[in-house]
Chain A
């Protein structure tokens, strides 16, 4: 009886040795380092110190100047509440891993029974039992829990990369929208100026009230329609606010004025497809899910005929005659009815399902790479056609119209129309450059992070 606590303590010490801590920070840091490496950008979360303070310091730095797409990505990675919630799953999985390494607590049993005729003393029985099967199963359960933690890390990393891609696309949308808004207003102003000129003509008696009204209506309508473009800009800005998870008092940021110039070259598509299959984190998570189910199945199959419970213990009883009997106890659940066949069948179905889902992800990933790459290349060609050919053409048309105006061969209306067409062409060119960046962000997400030609060494 006195030896019992010692025995139990020794067993516990043995079992707990090398057990994981419940602190999720190392696992989190591993995910953060991986995401930073894939994005090819150091993120402020690597700076050490308490999370909140870090985030605050990063914000004051990032939100102070005009935001770039990269800065917006960093803000979102640090601050998006959805992503923060996803990161907490690492804590949950970490705790599950610790849980998997803990023995079930021993059961203490005590009973006191008193005789109905003295002088006999009471019958006191004490027992401690411990589930013995637990001891056997622990290492296997721990291996499964660590697989599960790895899967969680991959899933959370994937979510972070997806968020980064969404922020890049949203930044391009908003930046382009701000620039386009200027062109839309300019185009409207040309029509308003034509309306004003028509009014001046009417006043001078060289244009009928009807013709002046037609010009005025075109100008007023264009001015009113700019409101639509302003709504679009507000929507695009709010999308960014949501992605960055900004509280009301933090939404006063400004955006860098212009879209960055297109990068000089794009990577070839062939390497990217293979890279996506090799490196995408959601594929990695799907693979881990398959491995986990395989392990669970083999465990289930290997232990199907073991008793479902083996309780070993020590029982000590003091008999009424004062004598004490002490001895071991054994409790077995006999696998007579439930021999685990249902559990095995269930796990087999789940395993096949996980394999199918992984296959679907592989097909989709390769397809997404091809689609985004093709669209990105096409948008680049179009955008460059606009920059190199169509915009200079519009500028030339305006210049030649001006020369004809100088010789009274064109009217101010003709000049305003040429200016309007130029502004509209600029607006369209910006739209195409925006589309290029959106497709590029999609491609980055489809490949599983960045597009730099040398894949980062994986931690």
Chain B
């Protein structure tokens, strides 16, 4: 679908990306090419806490190599687990290619059981769809299979097993497959982030996610990392930011941005026509789909970006505890004498727990954590930060935002 320059400009205007024109003064190469209606060298995707997979050219085919294998994965400092993933990580490395590419993915199975890979959302020949038993034999341990097809779409897709998939996904087997457009009417993003949403059941004090759990998850992650183990998005003021969200967990997750509004621009079935896009501060990402949002980071500061389901921004919690809100534990005779290490907790809420710093069980993240410039942040799970700065030397974490005088809520009573 070849677009003229006029089509492009009207599309840009319709899409509400008026900011695009404001960038003409310092147009990046990708954007300039796009505005000129030429094939764009795409901006690489940043899978925070993750990576993209390098490929090799072989006879005009982009060849990717994926190894399904057990991995030792760190969810955050202080918590590791025996997971399954690809190429030593969960989520697996992000595959990036361009619309029109012929790709070959060599999948080697180093798991103790058979596996396959399904290319979620990609339109491929039926025999390449990766449904074990239905479209191909299961890949036995030690075997390598080749998947090969031509990419006829662009957008945000996923790959995951379709063989004992409940167990394999619960243990962390998933990844992004991102297809960049050949030529796009869209103004390209300056920053292109990808977050895989996932839920896990890791009993406190254990080291292996439990695939049998259906609803009662206790660990919620962005790219298999839980706050405070999540890397922040560091952007320069005025940059156009794209965030791709994929969900293979058991719940939908409303991902909420502070300080900005975004447009929902695509699903795993492709771009949403500009006139049909809608603005959001929280985009609900249903199970088994991807959502892409875009916005201009025009508001400097340290902004929270998180799932708005409150339990999903907590780390390990037990869900059947007695309710101690308002309960005077000091009135209980002998409690302190019977339990020498006992500290009453929970009477006035749970925030005090974040401040106590008492030893917890092995390999378990405290329910809430994070220390900010004004005190404990009291968060966990699907929580990270969008750090927007006027000036940036690099995209490394710039530290806490320096607020202009008079722009911070203050105590008046």
Name A's B-contacting residues (CB within 8 A).
186, 189-190, 192-193, 196-197, 200-201, 203-207, 400, 402-413, 415-416, 419
Measured between beta carbons, the chain B residues less than 8 angstroms from A205 are 326
CB <8 Å contact, A207 and B322: yes
Chain A to chain B contacts (Cβ below 8 Å), 20 pairs: A192-B333, A193-B332, A193-B335, A200-B327, A200-B329, A201-B324, A204-B326, A206-B322, A402-B341, A404-B205, A405-B342, A406-B353, A406-B358, A407-B361, A408-B317, A408-B350, A410-B321, A411-B322, A412-B329, A412-B335
Interface flags for B303-327 (1: CB within 8 Å of A; 0: not) read: 0000000000000111001111111
Known contacts A409-B204, A409-B316; A400 and B327 CB within 8 A of each other: no
Nearest chain A residue, comparing its CB with the CB of B343: A406
Once the chains are docked, how many angstroms separate the CA of A190 from the CA of B337? 10
Measured between beta carbons, the chain B residues less than 8 angstroms from A197 are 327, 329, 332, 335
Q: Which of B334, B356, B361 contacts A192 (CB 8 A)?
A: B334
Once the chains are docked, how many angstroms separate the CA of A413 from the CA of B332? 12
Measured between beta carbons, the chain A residues less than 8 angstroms from B342 are 402, 405, 412, 415
Tell me whether B338 is interfacial, beta carbon within 8 Å. Answer: yes
CB <8 Å contact, B339 and A404: no
Tell me whether B360 is interfacial, beta carbon within 8 Å. Answer: yes
Measured between beta carbons, the chain A residues less than 8 angstroms from B333 are 192-193, 196
Tell me whether B364 is interfacial, beta carbon within 8 Å. Answer: yes
CB <8 Å contact, A196 and B317: no
Say how far A366's CB is from chain B's closest CB, in angstroms. Answer: 50
Q: Which of B329, B335, B361 contacts A400 (CB 8 A)?
A: B361
Tell me whether B345 is interfacial, beta carbon within 8 Å. Answer: yes
Once the chains are docked, how many angstroms separate the CA of A377 from the CA of B329? 47
Tell me whether B366 is interfacial, beta carbon within 8 Å. Answer: yes
Once the chains are docked, how many angstroms separate the CA of A400 from the CA of B361? 7
Once the chains are docked, how many angstroms separate the CA of A193 from the CA of B329? 10
Once the chains are docked, how many angstroms separate the CA of A272 from the CA of B90? 69
Measured between beta carbons, the chain B residues less than 8 angstroms from A407 are 204, 316, 353, 360-361, 364, 366-367
Say how far B227's CB is from chain A's closest CB, in angstroms. Answer: 16
CB <8 Å contact, A408 and B325: no
Interface centre among B329, B338, B356 (most CB of A within 10 A): B338
Once the chains are docked, how many angstroms separate the CA of A419 from the CA of B335? 11
Measured between beta carbons, the chain A residues less than 8 angstroms from B360 are 403-404, 406-407, 409
CB <8 Å contact, B325 and A406: no
Measured between beta carbons, the chain B residues less than 8 angstroms from A204 are 324-328
Once the chains are docked, how many angstroms separate the CA of A342 from the CA of B293? 124
Nearest chain B residue, comparing its CB with the CB of A413: B322
Interface centre among A189, A193, A408, A410 (most CB of B within 10 A): A408
Measured between beta carbons, the chain B residues less than 8 angstroms from A189 are 334, 338
Once the chains are docked, how many angstroms separate the CA of A207 from the CA of B366? 26
Measured between beta carbons, the chain A residues less than 8 angstroms from B318 are 408-410
CB <8 Å contact, A196 and B326: no
Interface centre among A402, A405, A406, A407 (most CB of B within 10 A): A407
Tell me whether B346 is interfacial, beta carbon within 8 Å. Answer: yes
Say how far A63's CB is from chain B's closest CB, in angstroms. Answer: 34
Measured between beta carbons, the chain B residues less than 8 angstroms from A400 are 205, 361
Known contacts A189-B334, A196-B331, A403-B360; A206 and B324 CB within 8 A of each other: yes
Cβ-closest 9 pairs across A and B: A206-B323, A407-B360, A204-B326, A406-B358, A196-B332, A204-B327, A409-B318, A402-B341, A409-B204
Once the chains are docked, how many angstroms separate the CA of A410 from the CA of B317? 9
Once the chains are docked, how many angstroms separate the CA of A408 from the CA of B325? 13
Tell me whether B405 is interfacial, beta carbon within 8 Å. Answer: no
Name B's A-contacting residues (CB within 8 A).
204-205, 316-318, 321-329, 331-335, 338-339, 341-346, 350, 353, 356, 358-361, 364, 366-367
Once the chains are docked, how many angstroms separate the CA of A402 from the CA of B356? 14
Say how far B311's CB is from chain A's closest CB, in angstroms. Answer: 13
Once the chains are docked, how many angstroms separate the CA of A68 from the CA of B398? 74
CB <8 Å contact, B356 and A406: yes
Measured between beta carbons, the chain A residues less than 8 angstroms from B344 are 412
Q: Which of A206, A402, A412, A413 contacts B326 (CB 8 A)?
A: A206
Once the chains are docked, how many angstroms separate the CA of A197 from the CA of B327? 8
Measured between beta carbons, the chain B residues less than 8 angstroms from A203 are 327-328
Say how far B316's CB is from chain A's closest CB, in angstroms. Answer: 6
CB <8 Å contact, B359 and A201: no
CB <8 Å contact, B327 and A201: yes
CB <8 Å contact, B316 and A186: no
Measured between beta carbons, the chain B residues less than 8 angstroms from A416 are 335, 338-339
Measured between beta carbons, the chain A residues less than 8 angstroms from B327 are 197, 200-201, 203-204, 206
Once the chains are docked, how many angstroms separate the CA of A406 from the CA of B364? 11
Interface centre among A190, A205, A411, A412 (most CB of B within 10 A): A412
CB <8 Å contact, A404 and B204: yes
Nearest chain A residue, comparing its CB with the CB of B336: A193
Known contacts A403-B359, A403-B361, A409-B361; A201 and B322 CB within 8 A of each other: yes
CB <8 Å contact, A200 and B339: no
Say how far B329's CB is from chain A's closest CB, in angstroms. Answer: 7
Once the chains are docked, how many angstroms separate the CA of A192 from the CA of B338? 11
Known contacts A186-B338, A189-B338, A404-B360; A206 and B325 CB within 8 A of each other: yes
Once the chains are docked, how many angstroms separate the CA of A404 from the CA of B353? 12
Say how far B335's CB is from chain A's closest CB, in angstroms. Answer: 5
Once the chains are docked, how many angstroms separate the CA of A207 from the CA of B358? 28
Measured between beta carbons, the chain B residues less than 8 angstroms from A405 are 342, 345
Measured between beta carbons, the chain B residues less than 8 angstroms from A192 are 333-334
Once the chains are docked, how many angstroms separate the CA of A405 from the CA of B367? 12
CB <8 Å contact, B321 and A411: yes
Q: Which of A201, A207, A419 contacts B339 (CB 8 A)?
A: A419
Once the chains are docked, how many angstroms separate the CA of A406 from the CA of B343? 8
Once the chains are docked, how many angstroms separate the CA of A405 from the CA of B344? 10
- Not counting A408-B317, A409-B317, a sample of 8 additional A-B residue pairs whose C-beta atoms are within 8 angstroms of each other reads A192-B334, A196-B332, A200-B329, A406-B343, A406-B353, A407-B366, A411-B322, A415-B342
Measured between beta carbons, the chain B residues less than 8 angstroms from A410 are 318, 321
Once the chains are docked, how many angstroms separate the CA of A189 from the CA of B334? 8
Once the chains are docked, how many angstroms separate the CA of A406 from the CA of B352? 11
Say how far A28's CB is from chain B's closest CB, in angstroms. Answer: 55
Measured between beta carbons, the chain A residues less than 8 angstroms from B326 are 204-206
Nearest chain B residue, comparing its CB with the CB of A418: B339
Nearest chain B residue, comparing its CB with the CB of A423: B338
Once the chains are docked, how many angstroms separate the CA of A46 from the CA of B388? 98
Measured between beta carbons, the chain B residues less than 8 angstroms from A207 are 322-323
Once the chains are docked, how many angstroms separate the CA of A444 from the CA of B353? 59
CB <8 Å contact, A408 and B359: no
Say how far B148's CB is from chain A's closest CB, in angstroms. Answer: 48
CB <8 Å contact, A193 and B338: yes
Nearest chain A residue, comparing its CB with the CB of B330: A200
CB <8 Å contact, B338 and A419: yes
Say how far B23's CB is from chain A's closest CB, in angstroms. Answer: 48
Interface centre among A189, A192, A201, A410 (most CB of B within 10 A): A201
Nearest chain A residue, comparing its CB with the CB of B368: A408
Known contacts A189-B338, A402-B339; A409 and B364 CB within 8 A of each other: yes
Once the chains are docked, how many angstroms separate the CA of A206 from the CA of B324? 7
Once the chains are docked, how many angstroms separate the CA of A186 from the CA of B338? 8
Once the chains are docked, how many angstroms separate the CA of A405 from the CA of B345? 9
Say how far B292's CB is from chain A's closest CB, in angstroms. Answer: 36
Nearest chain B residue, comparing its CB with the CB of A186: B338
Nearest chain A residue, comparing its CB with the CB of B353: A408
CB <8 Å contact, A190 and B338: yes
Measured between beta carbons, the chain A residues less than 8 angstroms from B346 are 408
Once the chains are docked, how many angstroms separate the CA of A410 from the CA of B338? 16
Once the chains are docked, how many angstroms separate the CA of A404 from the CA of B350? 14
Nearest chain B residue, comparing its CB with the CB of A399: B341
Once the chains are docked, how many angstroms separate the CA of A192 from the CA of B332? 9
Measured between beta carbons, the chain B residues less than 8 angstroms from A190 are 338
